[in-house]
């Protein structure tokens, strides 16, 4: 029997996730030493000193299995959010929590409603469990069409994924929009509110998702230490939901899913207000700089509440991407989101932002001349 006859056939629907190119790969491919990565929405400051020190200290205990319950990290998160330890699940990145959600709730044939474009892992989870993704396009202003998503609910609907701020567009769902969406939502639906970038949000109209958790609604809020805390390489994310939902998810969670160093670093990062404030400051200054330059160049961009910007460059994003690689700059193409003349660029350090803008002007001029 051939291997492709032995597998679960639904996995053939899965498109493997393609991450941003690693710096080392670009260095090898182009023979470059100086390469910057503005593709994966990583914190340009890296982890804070407190997190690094905690990692180093935890390394001495590497022979021991980690605390499978992540007690101290949960305790700190409970104090920060006003919830209880029983309201929290910690994952090997919020990606794992998404996978656990799928394994817990999605049966074959269940429908899950997803905006388009948004984070690709939602569709991965649905296909993995042989469910059916129902895609609802964003509005013309690139915001979630929550009205259309609500109308798409059927008896088969199990999960609804809402990414706010949304990846790749960077905009939010407002408190009024979410309240209207949650009103009279059918009881057989679980809402997944992915807030990976919520620490970057400055808009006062941003929704308070935890109120729905406190009310015991069928909601789970996902957050991560990969972005503002600069711990993407350690993989720590978490979910906040009713005690009943968390108890069900823990039936599926592997017993030692978050390693000791990751737990220690996340706990230290959570208490490092100085690093978080510095990260916010450099991000806001970089956002102001980049958006001003985009306006000068006449480029449309989606107003962002995150550490990245989704911008329309008016040329093929793959050609732009390749030209940028030759300059030692890694960005994200828009074709993977169904928008081939857009790019997503992470906000970097001042020097990185300057370098990106300088090369953007040169490359756009070159590509547009080639099109003539």
pLDDT of residue 21: 80
Sketch out the chain's domains with CATH numbers: 3-46+274-371 (3.90.1150.10), 49-272 (3.40.640.10)
- Rounded CA-CA distance 30/36 in Å is 13
The parts of the chain modelled with pLDDT lower than 70 are 372
Report how far apart, in Å, the C-alpha atoms of 132 and of each of 65, 129, 296, 358 are. Answer: 38, 9, 43, 44
Q: Give the per-residue pLDDT at 30.
A: 86
Residue 247: CB atoms within 10 A of its CB come to 12
Burial code (b: 16+ CB inside 10 Å, e: under 16) for 308-342 equals bbbbbbbbbbebbbebbbebbbbbbbbebbebebb
Please give the model's pTM, rounded to 2 decimal places.
0.95
pLDDT score at 372: 64
pLDDT score of 370: 79
pLDDT in tens, 12-43: 887 777 777 889 998 998 888 999 999 999 99
Q: What is the pLDDT of residues 224-251, one digit of tens each?
A: 999 999 999 999 999 999 999 999 999 9
What pLDDT does 144 receive? Answer: 98
Amino acid 4: pLDDT: 80
């Amino acid at each position: 029997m051939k291997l492709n006859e032995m597998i679960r056939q639904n996995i053939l629907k899965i498109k493997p996730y393609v991450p941003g190119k690693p710096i080392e790969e670009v260095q090898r491919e182009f023979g470059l030493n100086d390469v910057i990565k503005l593709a994966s929405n990583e914190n340009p400051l890296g982890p804070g000193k407190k997190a690094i020190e905690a990692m180093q200290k935890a390394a001495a205990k590497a022979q021991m299995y980690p605390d499978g319950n992540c007690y101290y990290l949960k305790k700190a998160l409970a104090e920060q959010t006003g919830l209880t330890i029983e309201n929290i699940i910690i994952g090997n990145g919020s990606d794992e929590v998404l996978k656990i959600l799928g394994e817990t709730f999605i049966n074959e044939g269940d429908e899950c409603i997803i905006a388009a474009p948004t984070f690709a892992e939602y569709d991965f989870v649905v296909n993995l469990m042989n469910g059916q993704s129902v895609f609802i396009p964003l509005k013309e202003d690139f915001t979630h069409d929550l009205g259309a998503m609500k109308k798409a609910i059927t008896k088969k609907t199990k999960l609804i994924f809402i990414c706010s701020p949304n990846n790749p567009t960077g905009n939010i769902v407002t408190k009024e929009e979410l309240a209207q969406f949650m009103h009279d939502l059918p009881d057989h639906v679980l809402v997944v509110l992915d807030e990976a970038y919520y620490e970057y949000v400055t808009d006062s109209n941003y929704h308070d998702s935890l109120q729905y958790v406190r009310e015991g609604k069928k909601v789970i809020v996902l957050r991560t230490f990969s972005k503002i805390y600069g711990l993407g390489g350690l993989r720590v994310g978490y979910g906040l939901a009713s005690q009943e939902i968390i108890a069900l998810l823990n039936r599926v969670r592997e017993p030692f899913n978050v390693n000791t160093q990751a737990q220690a670093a996340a706990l230290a990062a959570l208490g490092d207000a100085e690093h978080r404030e510095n990260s916010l400051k450099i991000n806001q200054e970089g956002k102001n700089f980049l958006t001003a330059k985009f306006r000068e160049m006449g480029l449309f961009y989606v107003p962002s509440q995150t550490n990245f910007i989704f911008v329309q460059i008016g040329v093929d994003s793959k050609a732009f991407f390749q030209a940028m690689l030759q300059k030692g700059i890694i960005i994200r193409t828009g074709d993977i989101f169904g928008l081939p003349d857009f790019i997503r660029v992470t906000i970097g350090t001042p020097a990185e932002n300057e370098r990106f803008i300088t090369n953007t002007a040169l490359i756009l001029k070159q590509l547009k001349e080639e099109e003539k």
